[in-house]
Chains A and B, each alone.
Chain A
Amino acid sequence: MVKYVTLVLVVVLLIVAGLLPVLAMLAQSIIADGRLSLDAYATVLRSRNQWALLWHSIALSSLTTVMATAIGMPLGVLLGKTDLPFRRAFLVLFTIPLLIPPYIMAVAWFHVLGRGKLVARLCGDAVAAVTSDLLFGLPGCVLVLSSVFMPVVMLLTMAFLKTVNPRLEEAGRNMTGWWGVLKGITVPLILPGVLLSALLTFLLTLGEFGVPHYLRFNVYPAETFSQFSAFYDFRAATAGAMPLAAITLAALVVERTCLRRRTYEIQLASQAGEILSVPLGRFRGLCLLLVTMLCLLVVILPLLILLAAASSLGAYWQALTQAGDSLVRSLLYAGTAASILTIVGFFAGYLIHYQALPFWLTIDSLTIFLFALPSTVIGVGLILLWNRPATNFIYATPIVIMCGLLAQYCAITSRITASTLTEIPASMDEAAQMVGAGWVRRVACITAPLAKKGLLAGWVVAFIFCLRDMGISMMVYPPGLDTLPVRTFTLMANGPTDLIAALCMIMVLGALTPLGILALVFKGSRFRA
């Protein structure tokens, strides 16, 4: 009984935090003066500007997806399947852009390609004028967002490679070389997983508005944001947000109907992480050179240039005096939200893994839908739902941010928990049941301690995503209670470049420190074992 009450409470929490705001938004968009009306949609559909923005968004998302997949998949195979040297170091380096607010990479690239910046100093103003023009537009957005979301494809490719049954590859090795096996067996087997990562990249790019805003490329989410923040037109903002929600929902249906079963079949055939390594042989040096150059170009160079731009201590001092309170709030909000997400995600993951309630698949789909949904859409929904006198204790306090972060990022902790639980034999829980332990004690004394590494990893990943979040916080932060990404973003309009660079480096440090601590904890526990 306690089990069902707990799990139902978690479901209710997810519905209140994530689903109700979306439903409130849908209701708002179809009701005018107390009557059913589709006028707002008609206005949206008639607007040439809206269609142009939607086209911009789809073009940006498609190009970014193609680029991120074209680079991320081979890179994932190289790092996850071969004997390439320094694989772990490359893995960490290539993942950094995903862990920091995307607009930081845009700022970093501005310091490389912008007028009067690195390229101008190295190649002259004429070349810099061209690179700057390219940066501020579609090509620049594709470049920045590809480097930001490429790790999604890379990491998922590596994860799916671990699920390929090595016996299938060994059977192929009897007939052909490794290249033939990769081409004919391994890659086709992980293709559904790669397509899934491409779909995720498409949706994440579709919802991103910080980078396009900074690089002055108008996209659809920015329209939703400006309708709300500049014109305060709720009906236009909600009607404008609905196409993004519809695209997300359609993508989720594609995932559920076409990809999910195939990726699940691969997982069933897994051999507990056993993986055959492909020897690169005489191509090892060439591959190392190419990967090093790519890493230097898309990760190290922009971040080093950003670091150089913020090299004076004065800039950091100014950053801390101007945004120190925002930094403290960011850390506090991210820590609190990560803790809530870890607890809620644990029970949601438990519910999904054990299929403990009849509607477990719906809950799984809901968390994925909310994760893929653009943050501007969730933000508008939260405002519509909670901005009323009776619920001011939510709307006018950081609770509203917590609700948004819970809705957007619960998929991360629930998926990490569900994945961790698959590694714990069912007999562990059953053995505790056989000695008389009830559900609460079994969860507290057996399941949670056995899943502690997954829970810790979930907390850190949630912390990083909450810390880097700008979309939700930007939309709903109560007056005077902004976060560091929001403060940095607003200062970017007219703040000095060294101050912005310093703020960005503080954000990078804030995101990477917990990851470093986690790596040390895992390394320590491995040595003890």
Chain B
Amino acid sequence: MKSITFESISKQYNKRPVVRDFSLDVGEGERLVIFGPSGCGKTTILRLAAGLVMPDRGRIFIGERLVAAEGRNIVSPEGRQVGMVFQDLALWPHLTVRGNVEFGLKVQGVSSSQRRQRIADMLRLVQMDSRMDAKPAQLSGGEQQRVALARALVLQPQVLLMDEPLSSLDYELSVALRQEILRLHHEIGFTLLYVTHDREEAAQIGNRVVVLRHGMVVKR
């Protein structure tokens, strides 16, 4: 497990500041939730950690490693070994459940026998082992959510970033999946940086919650 450190990060889009002088330490194995209203900059912070956007100012560390500093990515997104679950889940519609989970393992050059084993283990863990050959469009919202988690976790990332992954689900399913996320965190062990605008979800998932408004931390 690795920590994440943001040091005085600022980011603008079209000259509009989205994140302002943002500093935060997420400890190893911690479950930190960034909570705030829409447009407050929480997704941008997650994307900064992932390397999908570059900070205009400030530095980002993952563990001891400097990954971004002053307008440039020092480590590319694919080199950061960070897992991410997107708000729209971003399951590749042309691949099956197995294909979605397998893709990252193939990229990393894992042998086919090991791949089979790890896919089976991971899909069992998220209770999707019976739907391996289904395409994303054939899955329910909750099942898609589990596949997205499996895809991110199968690579055994030290850090997992989750961008409002339960926002499109109904309340009961959302509550059930929060328990799943906590169980997986307990069983696998990773540093979790979680973004939501739901107060109850934030309280349940995080062992620490940071409140963000207009790109600045207003409460820790």
| Chain A residues at the B interface, C-beta cutoff of 8 Å | 425, 427-428, 430-438, 441, 445-446, 449-450, 452, 529
Contact = CB atoms under 8 A, between A and B. Distances in A.
B92 A436 contact: no
Contact of B103 (A430, A438, A445, A452): A445
Nearest to A427: B90
Contacts of B130: none
B90 A436 contact: no
A446 B106 CA distance: 13
B155 A436 contact: yes
A137 B74 CA distance: 68
B108 A436 contact: yes
Given A425-B90, A434-B50, A435-B78, 18 more contacts: A427-B86, A427-B90, A430-B77, A430-B84, A431-B86, A431-B90, A433-B52, A433-B77, A434-B77, A435-B83, A436-B78, A436-B79, A436-B155, A437-B104, A438-B78, A438-B107, A441-B107, A450-B92
Tell me whether chain A's interface is mostly helix, strand or loop, or mixed: helix
Interface string B120-156: 0000000000000000010000000000000110010
A431 B100 CA distance: 10
Contacts of B137: 529
13 contacts: A425-B88, A427-B86, A427-B88, A427-B90, A430-B50, A431-B84, A432-B103, A434-B84, A435-B83, A435-B151, A437-B103, A445-B103, A452-B94
A459 to B, nearest CB: 18
B78 A431 contact: no
Contact of A431 (B76, B82, B92): B92
Nearest to A438: B78
Given A430-B52, A432-B103, A529-B137, A437 B78 contact: yes
A275 B94 CA distance: 26
Contacts of A446: 92
Contacts of B94: 449-450, 452
Contacts of B90: 425, 427-428, 430-431
Given A428-B92, A450-B93, A436 B104 contact: yes
Ranked nearest first, the 10 interchain pairs of A and B with the lowest CB-CB distance are A435-B104, A427-B90, A431-B90, A434-B84, A427-B86, A436-B78, A433-B77, A436-B107, A437-B107, A449-B94
Contacts of A427: 86-88, 90
Interface in B51-99: 52, 76-79, 81-84, 86-88, 90, 92-94
Given A427-B88, A449-B94, A435 B107 contact: yes
B92 A435 contact: no
B168 to A, nearest CB: 13
Contacts of A450: 92-94
A135 to B, nearest CB: 52
Contacts of A529: 137
A356 to B, nearest CB: 15
A311 to B, nearest CB: 47
Contacts of B84: 430-431, 434
Contacts of B155: 435-436
Interface in B11-34: none
Nearest to B137: A529
A440 to B, nearest CB: 11
A434 B154 CA distance: 12
A139 B63 CA distance: 77
A431 B81 CA distance: 12
A435 B82 CA distance: 8
A425 B83 CA distance: 18
Contacts of A431: 84, 86, 90, 92, 151
A70 to B, nearest CB: 41
Contacts of B86: 427, 430-431
B97 to A, nearest CB: 14
A438 to B, nearest CB: 6
A435 B94 CA distance: 17
Contacts of B93: 450
B50, B104, B108, B152 interface centre (most CB from chain A within 10 Å): B104
Contacts of B92: 428, 431-432, 446, 450
Contacts of A441: 107
Nearest to A445: B103
Contacts of A425: 88, 90
A428, A438, A450 interface centre (most CB from chain B within 10 Å): A428
Contacts of A449: 94
Contacts of B104: 435-437
A427 B88 CA distance: 8
A430 B94 CA distance: 16
A438 B106 CA distance: 12
A436 B79 CA distance: 6
A427 B165 CA distance: 13
A437 B86 CA distance: 17
Contact of A435 (B52, B76, B87, B103): B103
A452 B90 CA distance: 18
Contacts of A438: 78, 107
Nearest to A529: B137
Contact of B78 (A428, A434, A445, A452): A434
Contacts of B103: 432, 435, 437, 445
Nearest to A425: B88
A113 to B, nearest CB: 51
Interface in B143-190: 151-152, 155
A434 B76 CA distance: 9
Nearest to A449: B94
B30 to A, nearest CB: 20
A425, A432, A449 interface centre (most CB from chain B within 10 Å): A432
A425, A435, A441 interface centre (most CB from chain B within 10 Å): A435
Nearest to A430: B52
A265 B62 CA distance: 40
B80 to A, nearest CB: 8
Nearest to B52: A430
A433 B78 CA distance: 5
